[in-house]
Amino acid sequence: MIIHSLKVRLTLLFGVLTLGLIIGFMTYLYYFSSQEILVVGILFSAALVLVYFIAHVICKPIEQLTRIAEDINNIDLNNPFVVNTNVYEFKQLAQSLSQMVRTIHEQKKSLLELNVSLEEKVNLRTAALNQVNAELISLSRHDALTGVHNRLAIDEVLKHDFLQFKRSSISYTVMLLDVDFFKSVNDKYGHTVGDEVLKTIASTLNSCMRETDFVARYGGEEFLIILPDTKEQSFILAEKLRHVVSSLTFPLGQKLTVSIGLSIVNVDDNAPEDAVRRADKALYIAKENGRNQSQMI
C-alpha cells in the first residue's frame, strides 16, 4: 500500500539522517575509547526506535482513514471514521470525513428515492400518452356521426385485403349500400332526424356482421362493407341486410329501404379500387331497376 511505503520512507529518512549524524560523531570520536563508541551505538539504536515510533504515530491514523475510505460503501454511517490517535488534527479530519460520508449517503438515498418517483411518473405519463394516442388513432379512422369506420380506414383495409388476396388468394366481397330516397328524409324531417336514421342503420349493419367483417361510412347515406373470405354467400347476406333495414321503424315512424351493389375481387384486378368500382356499378343498376334490391357484378 502507498501508506505502508510512506511509513517505510519516513523511517528510512529519519534513519538516514540519524545515521549521518552518528557517522559524523563516530568520525569525530575515532580517536576516543571503545566505551565512547559503545555509547554512540546505543544512541544510534535508540534513535532508530524513536524514528520508527514517530513514523508509526504519524502513519497509523492515515492508514486507518485510508482503509475506511477504500470500503466507503460498507462503513457504519453512525460513526464512519474512527481512528485510534490522540493527535487533534487527525481527530478533526476523521470528524470532517464522517460528516462528508453521511452527507454523501443521504444525498445518494434522496437521489434513489427521486429516481424511483420519476420512473413511476414517467410510466404513468407514458401509459396516459399511449392511451391518448390510441384514442386519436381510433378517432382518425372512425366516422364522427355513426361511429363506424371512415374513408381513411377503408383505404387501409382495402389495400391490406387486396395485397393479401394477391399473395394468398384469400378473396373478399365489396358491398355498397345506399339508403333509398334519403334526401327526402332530410327535406321533410330535417338533418337532425336524418342523422338519427344514419346512426340507426350503421348500428344495424354492425349487429348483423361477423367480427371479421368491416363496416364503414362511404359518404353521405352510403355505407361500404368488406366481407373477407366470401363469394356467392355474400349475396345472401346482402338480402338479409336489406330485409332487416326495411323492417326497422325509425324515430318518426317512417319506413326506409336500401339498395345494395356487390362485387367479388378477382385475379384480373390491378388495384383495390377495381372491386369498389364494380360494386358501385352494381348499386347503380339496383337503383335503376327500382331500388330496394341487391345486384352483384
The 10s digit of each residue's pLDDT in 66-86 is 666 666 555 555 555 565 667
Is 94 a member of any domain? no
The residues near 239 (Cβ < 8 Å, ≥ 6 apart) are 294
Examine the fold and report which residue of 28, 47, 70 is the final residue of a domain before the chain moves on: 70
- pLDDT in the model for residue 151: 94
Query: How far apart (Å, rounded) are the C-alpha atoms in residues 57 and 69?
Result: 19
Same domain, 64 and 195: no
Instruction: Identify the weakest region by mean pLDDT among 8-12, 130-134, 219-223.
Output: 8-12
Whether the full predicted model's pTM is greater than 0.95, yes or no, is no
Q: Which run of H or E residues covers position 145?
A: none
Is 270 a member of any domain? yes
- pLDDT in the model for residue 1: 44
Same domain, 44 and 160: no
Range of the domain at 22: 2-70
Residue 113 burial (CB < 10 Å; 0-12/13-18/19+)? exposed
Which CATH number do you get for residue 190?
3.30.70.270
Is 174 a member of any domain? yes
Instruction: Identify the weakest region by mean pLDDT among 60-64, 79-83, 126-130, 227-231.
Output: 79-83
Examine the fold and report which residue of 70, 88, 118 is the final residue of a domain before the chain moves on: 70
Same domain, 157 and 278: yes
Average pLDDT, the chain: 83
Same domain, 169 and 287: yes
Summarised one tens digit per residue, pLDDT across range 24-67 is 566 655 555 556 656 666 776 676 677 667 666 666 666 666 66
Summarised one tens digit per residue, pLDDT across range 140-167 is 899 999 999 999 999 999 999 999 999 9
- Look up cell 477504500; give the residue: 70
What average pLDDT does the segment 19-28 reach?
A: 61
Is 7 a member of any domain? yes
Query: How far apart (Å, rounded) are the C-alpha atoms in residues 55 and 256?
Result: 110
Is 124 a member of any domain? no
Phi, psi of 63 (to 5 degrees): -60, -45
Structural domain count, the chain: 2
Summarised one tens digit per residue, pLDDT across range 102-125 is 788 788 888 888 888 888 899 988
Is 277 a member of any domain? yes
Same domain, 167 and 53: no
- pLDDT in the model for residue 136: 78
- Indicate which residues carry an active-site annotation: 221
The residues near 70 (Cβ < 8 Å, ≥ 6 apart) are none
Is 96 a member of any domain? no
Is 32 a member of any domain? yes
Examine the fold and report which residue of 26, 44, 70 is the final residue of a domain before the chain moves on: 70
- pLDDT in the model for residue 2: 42
